[in-house]
Structure 1
Amino acid sequence: MKRVLLISLLIGVCNTAMSQGIKAAAKAALIPLPVTAVYNTDSFFITPHTRLVADPGNEGALALLRNYISEATSGALAQTEAGAAQTTPAIVLHTDTLLVQQPEEYLLHITGKQVLITAYDAAGIVHGIESLRQLWHLKGAAQLALPGAVIRDYPRFGYRGMHLDVSRHFFPVSFIKAFIDQLALYKINNFHWHLTDDQGWRIEIKKYPALQSVAAWRDQTMIGHKKELPHRFDGKKYGGYYTREEIKAVVAYATERHINVIPEIEMPGHALAALTAYPSLGCTKGPYKTAQFWGIFDDVFCAGNDSTFIFLQDVLEEVMELFPSAYIHIGGDECPKVRWAHCPACQQRMRQEHLADEHELQSYFIRRISNYVQSKGRKIIGWDEILEGGLAPGATVMSWRGVEGAVTAAKQQHHVIMTPEDELYFDHYQSLYAEEQTAAGGYTPLEEVYNYDPLRAAGDTALLPYIAGMQGQVWSEYLNTIPKAQYMIFPRMMAMAERAWSPQTVKDFNDFSRRLKAQYPLLQQLHIAAADNFEEINFTADSLAPGQLYISLHTTDPAAVIRYTTDGSTPGQRSKLYRQPIQLTKSSTVKAMLYQQGQPTHRLFHQSFGINKATGAGITLKQPPNTKFSGDASLLVNGISGSDRYNDAQWLGFSGRDLEAVIDLGTEQTIREVGANCLNYHWQRMWAPVSLEFEGSADGIHYAPLAATTSFPVNGINKIRLPLKPVKARFVKVLARNKGVIPPGEYGAGGNSQLLVGEVVIIAVSH
């Protein structure tokens, strides 16, 4: 009945607007997109005489609105009237649980005389205010204009989160507050604050002062990417931490905007900074050193000594004093078991608790911490590794390694927050252009973020009630400045926010792109250094016949045209206009530029394509790739060499198995050279093959050796090219033998190495 009443009221408001002769207007550029919105040509103006009115209990929201108005007008509207005559135009904040029916829902009605925000609760009032922030624009020195509108809005998911890692790089309180304000602007209601890790401890704990004096600092920081050798360092002591008073101020700031702050205290792994301050908490008792580079480290909290749990309980007690969040994040991810396997205390604990292995020891660790947190009236959240050995009762899982963890947890009736690495890690590259700033790896363009749907990913509809929401992650290893961080966060965070808030039925990337472009002036006003590369040229390559490639160029900008060259020269206004796929029959470099109204825009696109006898040939694999570097076998013969960032879907990856491929050239050829590209990045667990071998055959049955090598000297891409005495063959077999288990003393020792192979090259004798 209430729903019928609400809909009737909305229809009545819209009909009234039309009957008064108010014409419909273009859609506004709100992000996230509201559930329903009708705009008209009416306008409301916020002036020094505008009244601000709020129900009792909404005084905080009123103060927030007044502050936003002041900021938007650079202080020109620092004061608005509270007690003016009733006939004065007003902004009214009203709570009504009969008219508005669900948490966080709001109705926004803007006419020429009044702005009325009616909401279910105080959070809904703030969401309505945040929509006003996106709708208004400065008109004159001391006036804000709002379009006439009737908006009804509520969230798709109750949990909408953003994570920020401050352990690898420390961000000041001023940035944290600005970030929280940006979350509020896009209706994100949870801030996941990653406060401790191997590279630094960032929260003041009174009982353990060495966490401030020792664990909060590292001697120096790596320069460049950790895959690069030799590793380089800046030689500068680095660190910092948030005092208790600073944390209280941040929490209060977030609370005013109805954002919950979830602290993360990493355990049992990612503990090197804490162990440096208190070495008795580790299995070997040290000495330890706060990490200076990025990765996973074998030294973790000892699970066999009660002193470890006493320490962590003391820490969590102080954490819970500072953070009112119902959830406390305890990490639980990427915990090596190497030290536990050789620690007498840990092995004794396993015997006492009848634990089968170290995975069950991790479960014991998490359960013990969870029981303590629950005794304080709170619950834990952990990354999906907390599933290992059994899930603690009441725990919520953040599923970051894909869907499997989410499905497993949901089947056990635990709530899940979808945080998948491939789609929602904003430390990944968002463009494949070589000019992009250094990032952790991966490739997550804006459209991939926008198209992610956590409910579809979950699969089984019976599990959907346990999908609490979704969250974007910002790991800061390579984000050592605020502009770098903002560049990676925006606009991908905005895409995530829309997918978490707006109904699935309104999903439209082209419309989102239109609204996003309209938002850039607001981002500039807020001093956000957002990326603007989402409309740049991208490409696909197809081979319709051996020795030929067809290159398709793409942009999502409907107002731009593409001009290109294939001879390596930079395109200009007179270069060829792209109208259809570009046919290549020889190795070429395609360069292209977007033009709007005759002027170049965005960065220059350039991509090399190599054509040889293998290009476009038939290829079969004995075993498919079994890592995240998966794909069709044709990637090895598509004329595109994978980059040293290995994020361009041009590499095939194998773990615990060899690559064996057979290439069919179609007819017998006289071959004079063979080769392939192999990656060698030990600090990424990527190892070149033990050997790379080529064999030839006329019939595909009987093979003879052609060439082989065991030398892969380059840290990076090894472009192996092996000359032959000319030999005839139709079929060429490529065998790259996997390194297997990573040897002792190397990064990731004891785990499987990854074999990554890229483009195969076969050169024939010219006739």
Structure 2
Amino acid sequence: MKSIRNYTWVSIIAILLSATAYGEQTENRLDLMPWPAKVELSAGEYRIDNNFEVEITGHGTGRLNRAAGRMLRKLSGSTGLFFSQDYISPDSVVRNPSMEIHVDRRGHLKLHEDESYELDVTPVRVLLTAKTDIGALRGIETLLQLLEADSAGYYFPAVKIVDYPRFPWRGLMIDASRHFMPMNVIKRNIDGMAAVKLNVLHWHLSDDQGFRAESRTYPKLTGMGSDGLFYTQAQIKEVIKYAADRGIRVVPEFDLPAHSTSWFVGYPNYASAPGPYSIERKFGIFNPVFNPTLKKTYSFLDAFFKEMCRLFPDHYMDIGGDENNGKQWNANPEIQQFMKTHRIPDDRSLQTYFENRLIPILTRYHKKAMGWEEILNPGLPKSAIIQSWRGAQSLEQAAQLGYRALLSKGFYLDHYMPASTYYLNDPLPDTTSLTDKQKRFIIGGEACMWSEFVSPENVDSRIWPRAAAIAERLWSPDSVRNVRDMYRRLKGVSLELESLGLTQIKNQAMMIRRLAAGRDPAPLTNLVNVVVPVELYARATTRHYTSYSPLTRVVDAAVPDPEVARNFAFMVDDLVSQASANP
């Protein structure tokens, strides 16, 4: 059999030079992501011109009006057309609509809300129907992805789409604690989420490195625990409204009893060891943990969560619960005596005691608990949601016990795996041991963007476009899993995301120019195009990083899963396959 060694270096160089364009050498197919449940192409197309107008019928809502207005502005910007319809209001009168959007009722931002829609594009009109305005928002994003152009202008191909999500919980977790993420970062990522039909922003707001949500009840949480980098309550409300306008829920996470150093900078009396405490600058698992034996701990948390439960309208409040090493508990004689008196055998049981006192506080303020899998302990209410970061065993255990569960293991974007790895990771794989009844407890998954090694400058390139592949896994039928076709569509999606203001493409060029320091950036660009950031957490072993360390090096400019390197690998695979087929 022929070996790849038989190909000349000239051939290999030619392959490398053509790798950038390789992904474009496919048939012209729809560039939809997530791929809809049912797609039926027809002959013809609907041509768009300056007279394109939208009419909303049925149960119109302000959210839908604003979404339709954004759609018009996006289409106008993409086509250069001057539409006569500037905005849409309840009083809008459209005599000859090009597009009709019909909804039956206002959607509610809650788990299991109906997000289905039907889109029918013919040569004479566009019809979008949905049971809820949230479903209509999902259909609008699909329509925007359908836009194509030829020598005659812009058009939507004739197509009938029936679509609905596979899972009801499709989230993106953004860690704003380890490195603070300003408002513009959060909002532009919400826009990206909406474009690919993600529907939950999981906002990680406290950790050892910073407390990021303003508390008026306990002002020293941010006054001493944030370096002045936090979201005011007015800003939090602004984010919640911005997300709600796009059909996205906001679930806050306040991590405890561990990962809690920033709480104790201002309020050390609730810790399990004496202070003083300072904001943690390094990354890892640290000792500070709430003292679960003190009555005043629960009075403190009661007042805090009363305030936060009023601020955040979602039904769920995430309490974290992960990675408690128990060292402060074990070193505290009073805590050890408490455990002995109350027959609490170990640290895990003590954490169960803590959670069993904390969760009723949330219940009193009409919230349900959510947390990492460590909270899956005896006494946990069945209303709680378990988020699995360790894998299938805990996910299936939760479902078998009757708890709703979602998967994050395999969706950690900070592991810098290629999009294909995330794409083939499934909350309900064919190998699952769950029964059909138990499968209903698996409600979806979340992409996780932990921020040890990201900054506002490069965070978008760590989330996008790979998060779109995860979005497809959580929305589309499980039969949609062609990796090559996913990558074909992902390229167009990345450009669409850039047009929304995300910076995963343009900021890389800026970072490379800065590294080149006035010299020709082309050689460095060529290098960055074929290397990837250090995978998993190996980077932390190369030097001592802190929250002040520069994130401006080549490793920070390089993107996970670079297109040139990937296309080169595909071409080599194809050559080897051809050689095997023709020995």
TM-score higher than 0.5: yes
Q: What is the match of residue 183 of structure 1?
A: 193
**In structure 1, the residue corresponding to 2:45 is in which secondary structure?**
strand
User: Do structure 1's residue 90 and structure 2's residue 99 form an aligned pair?
Assistant: yes
Q: What is the match of residue 698 of structure 1?
A: none
CA distance 1:244–1:390, change in 2 (3 Å)? same
Aligned counterpart in structure 2 of residue 60 of structure 1, from 58, 63, 72: 63
Q: What is the match of residue 486 of structure 1?
A: 460
Aligned counterpart in structure 2 of residue 79 of structure 1, from 66, 83, 86: 86
Tell me the distance in 1 between the aligned counterparts of 2:57 and 2:544.
58
Aligned counterpart in structure 2 of residue 528 of structure 1, from 491, 502, 506: 502
Q: What is the match of residue 107 of structure 1?
A: 118
CA distance 1:88–1:683, change in 2 (3 Å)? closer
Amino acid at match of 1:445: P
Whose relative contact order is higher, 1 or 2, with alpha carbons under 8 Å and at least 6 apart?
2
1:101-147 deviation per Cα after TM superposition (whole angstroms, max 9, x unaligned): 9921110011233221111222211111111222235899xx96322
User: Do structure 1's residue 163 and structure 2's residue 163 form an aligned pair?
Assistant: no
Residues 548-567 of structure 1 aligned to structure 2 (within 5 Å): none
Q: What is the match of residue 306 of structure 1?
A: 295
**How high is the sequence identity, in percent, across the aligned residues?**
31
User: Do structure 1's residue 501 and structure 2's residue 512 form an aligned pair?
Assistant: no
CA distance 1:408–1:174, change in 2 (3 Å)? same
1:434-476 deviation per Cα after TM superposition (whole angstroms, max 9, x unaligned): xxxxxxxxxx211110111111277213231221111100001
Tell me the distance in 2 between the aligned counterparts of 1:448 and 1:512.
12
CA distance 1:452–1:278, change in 2 (3 Å)? same
Instruction: Report the Cα offset of residue 71 of structure 1.
Output: 4.0
Q: Would the aligned equivalents of 1:167 and 1:196 in 2 still touch at CA under 8 Å?
A: yes
Residues 207-356 of structure 1 aligned to structure 2 (within 5 Å): 207-217=217-227, 239-356=228-345
Q: Would the aligned equivalents of 2:119 and 2:160 in 1 still touch at CA under 8 Å?
A: yes
Q: How many residues matched?
A: 485
Residues 268-667 of structure 1 aligned to structure 2 (within 5 Å): 268-387=257-376, 391-420=380-409, 423-429=410-416, 444-456=417-429, 459-462=432-435, 463-482=438-457, 484-530=458-504, 603-604=529-530
Instruction: Report the Cα offset of residue 73 of structure 1.
Output: 2.8
1:729-766 deviation per Cα after TM superposition (whole angstroms, max 9, x unaligned): xxxxxxxxxxxxxxxxxxxxxxxxxxxxxxxxxxxxxx
Tell me the distance in 2 between the aligned counterparts of 1:94 and 1:56.
6
CA distance 1:485–1:136, change in 2 (3 Å)? same
Aligned counterpart in structure 1 of residue 32 of structure 2, from 24, 30, 33: 30
TM-score by length of 2: 0.77
Amino acid at match of 2:411: L
Q: Would the aligned equivalents of 1:305 and 1:346 in 2 still touch at CA under 8 Å?
A: no
**In structure 2, the residue corresponding to 1:380 is in which secondary structure?**
strand
Instruction: Report the Cα offset of residue 94 of structure 1.
Output: 3.0
1:270-310 deviation per Cα after TM superposition (whole angstroms, max 9, x unaligned): 11011011111112220111101111111111111122211
Q: Would the aligned equivalents of 2:59 and 2:103 in 1 still touch at CA under 8 Å?
A: no
Instruction: Report the Cα offset of residue 331 of structure 1.
Output: 0.3
Tell me the distance in 1 between the aligned counterparts of 2:469 and 2:419.
7
Tell me the distance in 2 between the aligned counterparts of 1:130 and 1:461.
34
Q: Would the aligned equivalents of 2:213 and 2:231 in 1 still touch at CA under 8 Å?
A: yes
Instruction: Report the Cα offset of residue 86 of structure 1.
Output: 3.1
Tell me the distance in 2 between the aligned counterparts of 1:479 and 1:194.
14
Tell me the distance in 2 between the aligned counterparts of 1:644 and 1:84.
56
CA distance 1:46–1:210, change in 2 (3 Å)? farther
1:657-702 deviation per Cα after TM superposition (whole angstroms, max 9, x unaligned): xxxxxxxxxxxxxxxxxxxxxx987989xxxxxxxxxxxxxxxxxx
Tell me the distance in 2 between the aligned counterparts of 1:209 and 1:104.
39
Tell me the distance in 2 between the aligned counterparts of 1:206 and 1:102.
33
1:333-382 deviation per Cα after TM superposition (whole angstroms, max 9, x unaligned): 01121111122442343245331112100011112111111222221111
Q: Would the aligned equivalents of 1:104 and 1:124 in 2 still touch at CA under 8 Å?
A: yes
CA distance 1:409–1:89, change in 2 (3 Å)? closer
CA distance 1:601–1:72, change in 2 (3 Å)? farther
User: Structure 1 stretches of 5 or more lacking a match?
Assistant: 1-24, 218-238, 430-443, 533-592, 594-599, 607-642, 649-678, 685-767
Tell me the distance in 2 between the aligned counterparts of 1:197 and 1:299.
11
Instruction: Report the Cα offset of residue 49 of structure 1.
Output: 5.1
CA distance 1:56–1:303, change in 2 (3 Å)? same
Which stretch shifts more, 52-61 or 104-113?
52-61
Tell me the distance in 2 between the aligned counterparts of 1:261 and 1:70.
26
TM-score by length of 1: 0.59
Q: Is the strand fraction higher in 1 or 2? A: 1
CA distance 1:320–1:330, change in 2 (3 Å)? same
CA distance 1:85–1:304, change in 2 (3 Å)? closer
CA distance 1:267–1:646, change in 2 (3 Å)? closer
Instruction: Report the Cα offset of residue 605 of structure 1.
Output: 7.2
**In structure 2, the residue corresponding to 1:454 is in which secondary structure?**
coil
CA distance 1:346–1:378, change in 2 (3 Å)? same
Amino acid at match of 1:464: K
Instruction: Report the Cα offset of residue 527 of structure 1.
Output: 3.4
Tell me the distance in 1 between the aligned counterparts of 2:154 and 2:427.
38
Q: Would the aligned equivalents of 2:498 and 2:505 in 1 still touch at CA under 8 Å?
A: no
Residues 632-711 of structure 1 aligned to structure 2 (within 5 Å): none
Q: Would the aligned equivalents of 1:27 and 1:39 in 2 still touch at CA under 8 Å?
A: no
Instruction: Report the Cα offset of residue 177 of structure 1.
Output: 1.5
Q: Would the aligned equivalents of 1:303 and 1:349 in 2 still touch at CA under 8 Å?
A: no
Larger Rg: 1
User: Do structure 1's residue 147 and structure 2's residue 157 form an aligned pair?
Assistant: yes
Tell me the distance in 2 between the aligned counterparts of 1:177 and 1:368.
35
Q: What is the match of residue 128 of structure 1?
A: 139
Q: Would the aligned equivalents of 1:362 and 1:389 in 2 still touch at CA under 8 Å?
A: no
**In structure 2, the residue corresponding to 1:377 is in which secondary structure?**
coil
Amino acid at match of 1:375: R
CA distance 1:51–1:526, change in 2 (3 Å)? closer
Q: Would the aligned equivalents of 2:105 and 2:133 in 1 still touch at CA under 8 Å?
A: no
Q: Is the helix fraction higher in 1 or 2? A: 2
1:418-447 deviation per Cα after TM superposition (whole angstroms, max 9, x unaligned): 110xx2100112xxxxxxxxxxxxxx2111
1:126-177 deviation per Cα after TM superposition (whole angstroms, max 9, x unaligned): 111111222235899xx96322221100010111111000001111212212
Tell me the distance in 2 between the aligned counterparts of 1:196 and 1:646.
22
Q: Would the aligned equivalents of 1:47 and 1:80 in 2 still touch at CA under 8 Å?
A: no
Tell me the distance in 1 between the aligned counterparts of 2:149 and 2:279.
49
1:520-565 deviation per Cα after TM superposition (whole angstroms, max 9, x unaligned): 3313322333379xxxxxxxxxxxxxxxxxxxxxxxxxxxxxxxxx
CA distance 1:251–1:38, change in 2 (3 Å)? same
Q: Would the aligned equivalents of 1:96 and 1:118 in 2 still touch at CA under 8 Å?
A: no
Q: Would the aligned equivalents of 2:210 and 2:262 in 1 still touch at CA under 8 Å?
A: yes
**In structure 1, the residue corresponding to 2:529 is in which secondary structure?**
strand
